[in-house]
Amino acid sequence: MLVKKLKETFEQYDQKEVVLQGWVRTNRKSKALGFIELNDGSCFSNVQIVYTDALNNFDEVSKITLGSALEVKGTVVLTPEAKQPFEIQATSVEVLGLCDHDYPLQKKRHSFEYMREIPHIRPRANTYYAMFRLRSVLSMAIHTFFQDRGFVYVHTPEITGNDAEGAGECFTVTCRQDDEYEKDFFGKHAQLTVSGQLHVEPFAQTYRNVYTFGPTFRAENSNTTRHASEFWMIEPELAFADLSDNMDCIEEMIKYCIKYCLEHAKEEMEFFEKMIDKDCIKRITEVANSNFKRMTYTEAIKELEKVKDTFENKDIFWGMDLQSEHERYICEKVVKGPVFLIDYPKEIKAFYMRVNDDQKTVAACDLLVPYVGELVGGSQREERYDVLEAKIKEMGIAQETLQWYLDLRRFGGCKHSGFGLGFDRMLMYLSGVQNIRDVQPYPRTPRNLIF
Ligand code: 4AD
Ligand code: MG
């Protein structure tokens, strides 16, 4: 039988015989008595196994190494007075897989850098054990949020002929070198997607509200704590929605995800609060109960000009692309919480964003949050055929690659908006973990490919 969470069901097994499989976290012995902390994978806490020299293999059991796989038979005994709510008094302990002595984890704390070298082992260490379950819970939060609201989940392709962001940061796809087509995708130029947006938009013109959620790839050579070459993105698209509706959706989604994770990953969040970021639960709870501010890019530039000498990049002017230090100043020092920056200069944003009446700015919204900076990037899309066509030309994009996208404007096109939430950055935001390499199971960053 599969037990969902041992911790939630143990009371019904009081004084009963159970069989448990799991991995050893600690094993200590004194004379005729020994204790194993076993993790069965069902929850963050370990189960205490008590064994005595009544076991016929007591000596063997007392030498079982950290990380070994076991099957334990024994009686559940409730221990409400003790640190752990119950323990198992073993009647038999069978070693299923002994861990060799060069096992890379010890009982002490290891550095993040060390752990990044062993992605196949690190899920067993507490921080990663908590993180990768949180990752799973957050995925569920996203799906539940959108499914409950009638959004349709669309699988957009990983291999594409379009650079959705127009930033030239694509990994090219090639066939085998000895193939008759040599380097191209069966004779066509193709790349790994940087965003599912262009491919999800047609579905918003069908189902009204849709989302895609999958891996995206960026070949930007930036070695920061917040950029990965492969990361997951949630990209909803809402027909008949303007920029303000878009921001309402983002805000509701972020708050929902926070509450969902606090409820469904309680032990994991408590661990992060204890070991990683002592304010994380308080911080995100406040965010879940706050109203996100909205500020124009122009207002943000004025704020930055006031303190420009405090930045590494002191050259503050209207039209500049904001650096992470500027974004963090706005949300951490000016607003002191999440803030939507809206109406960016059109030159620094993607071709598909709707041009505002001033002709200088576009209806974009970036959500900036303390600790992380940009968490979400979104916009109202340009639905006017002529304006979009002119923009594509102006930006030097080959129109034939986007004719299908332009045509959507001729075939029942309407006002619509959408956004992209960086899934990995959301995990950083929730947990307080400061490097994207520690929230991804197998981090993919420039010059870093383990396995
Ligand atoms: O702002 P971005 O580039 O927006 C888009 O791709 C739009 N097409 C989204 C849309 O409107 N459908 O990326 C969206 C978010 C960012 O705010 C950030 O959180 C995350 O994706 N992101 C990255 N996360 C990790 N590593 C990177 N290299 C990232 N680049 C963007
Ligand atoms: Mg962006």
Here the CATH number for the domain that contains residue 6 is 2.40.50.140
Give per-residue pLDDT as tens, 151-180: 999 999 999 998 888 878 899 998 876 656
Which range marks the domain in which residue 225 is found? 120-436
- Specify whether the CB–CB gap between 379 and 343 falls below 8 A: no
Give per-residue pLDDT as tens, 240-266: 999 999 999 999 999 999 999 999 999
* Ligand 1 centroid to residue 366 C-alpha, Å: 10
Give per-residue pLDDT as tens, 323-367: 999 999 999 999 999 999 999 999 999 999 999 999 999 999 999
Domains of the chain: total: 2
Nearest to 250 by CA among 276, 277, 287, 281: 287
- Which residues lie closer than 8 Å to 363 by C-beta, 6 or more apart? 242, 243, 342, 343, 353, 354, 355, 356, 379, 380, 417
Residue 447 domain-assigned (yes or no): no
Tell me the CA distances in angstroms from 36 to 33, 91, 92, 120, one per residue in order. Answer: 10, 13, 13, 23
Residue 448 domain-assigned (yes or no): no
- Supply the DSSP symbol for 156: -
- Specify whether the CB–CB gap between 76 and 10 falls below 8 A: yes
- Which residues lie closer than 8 Å to 348 by C-beta, 6 or more apart? 319, 320, 321
> Same domain, yes or no, for 37 and 140?
no
pTM: 0.95
1 pLDDT above the threshold of 70 = no
Give per-residue pLDDT as tens, 298-311: 999 999 999 999 99
Residue 101 domain-assigned (yes or no): no
- CATH assignment of the domain containing 133: 3.30.930.10
- Specify whether the CB–CB gap between 375 and 421 falls below 8 A: yes
Q: Taking CA 268 as the corner, what is the angle to CA 265 and CA 269, rounded to the nearest 5 degrees?
A: 80
* Ligand 2 centroid to residue 376 C-alpha, Å: 7
Residue 442 domain-assigned (yes or no): no
Average pLDDT over the chain reads: 94
Pocket test for ligand 1, best of 142, 220, 231 (most atoms within 8 A of CB): 231
The SS3 assignment for 282 reads helix
> Same domain, yes or no, for 81 and 152?
no
Instruction: Report residue 186 as tokens.
Output: 């069966």
> Same domain, yes or no, for 242 and 277?
yes
Q: How confident is the model at residue 6 (pLDDT cuts 50, 70, 90)?
A: low
2 pLDDT above the threshold of 80 = no
Phi/psi of residue 152, nearest 5 degrees: -100, 130
Q: How confident is the model at residue 12 (pLDDT cuts 50, 70, 90)?
A: confident
- Specify whether the CB–CB gap between 241 and 444 falls below 8 A: no
214 pLDDT above the threshold of 50 = yes
- Supply the DSSP symbol for 4: S
Nearest to 248 by CA among 380, 139, 98, 360: 380
Beta-carbon count within 10 A of 76 CB: 21
Residues with CB under 6 A from ligand 1: 164-165, 195, 197, 218, 227-228, 231, 233, 235, 374-379, 418-420, 422, 424-425, 436
Residue 449 domain-assigned (yes or no): no
> Same domain, yes or no, for 212 and 340?
yes
Residue 226 domain-assigned (yes or no): yes
